[in-house]
């Protein structure tokens, strides 16, 4: 569904039971997108599409940050345009503890409560992200 980040916010804050989300966004507001997606505690997969003219760019690091800041403990798939990653929870001791302590001491609110790694989606294992599945009859 094509939309603005404001429309994404309306969906995320009023449909908190969403488990799968595929959106086409027009605006390059990564922090706003992250804030809206945090309102979805049951989100299992999210795919963000954007035209090249939108200026929205999300590399693997941005997507990892988006996944780590999610309030969903069940988020297992994240994608941007035609790239898809599997979200793999990692133990918290792998996170930079000094960075967390410093941010906590400063009272910073944007400290991630979970640590995740992204693994490129491997279609050779017999599964394919449903958002890209096309069936011809």
Domain boundaries, the chain: 2-132
pLDDT band at residue 121 under the 50/70/90 scheme:
confident
pLDDT the model gives residue 120: 87
What pTM, to 2 d.p., does this model score?
0.76
Span 33-58, mean pLDDT? 94
Return the DSSP state at 92. G
Span 17-40, mean pLDDT? 94
CA–CA separation, 23 and 4 (whole Å): 9
Mapping DSSP onto H, E and C, the string for 60-108 reads HHHHHHHHHCCCCCCCCEEEECCEEEEEEEECHHHCCHHHHHHHHHHCC
Span 65-85, mean pLDDT? 92
pLDDT at residue 114 is higher than 90: no
pLDDT at residue 109 is higher than 80: no
């Amino acid at each position: 569904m094509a939309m603005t980040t404001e429309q994404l916010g309306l969906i995320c804050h009023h449909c908190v039971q969403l488990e799968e989300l595929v959106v086409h966004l027009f605006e390059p507001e990564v922090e706003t997108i992250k804030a809206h997606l945090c309102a979805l505690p049951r989100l299992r997969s999210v795919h963000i599409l954007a035209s090249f003219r939108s200026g929205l760019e999300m590399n693997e690091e941005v997507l990892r940050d988006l996944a780590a800041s999610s309030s969903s403990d069940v988020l297992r798939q994240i994608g941007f345009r035609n790239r898809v990653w599997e979200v793999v929870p990692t133990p918290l001791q792998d996170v930079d503890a000094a960075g967390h302590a410093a941010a906590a001491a400063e009272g910073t609110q944007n400290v991630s409560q979970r640590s995740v790694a992204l693994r490129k989606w491997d279609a050779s294992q017999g599964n394919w992200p449903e958002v890209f599945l096309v069936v011809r009859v």
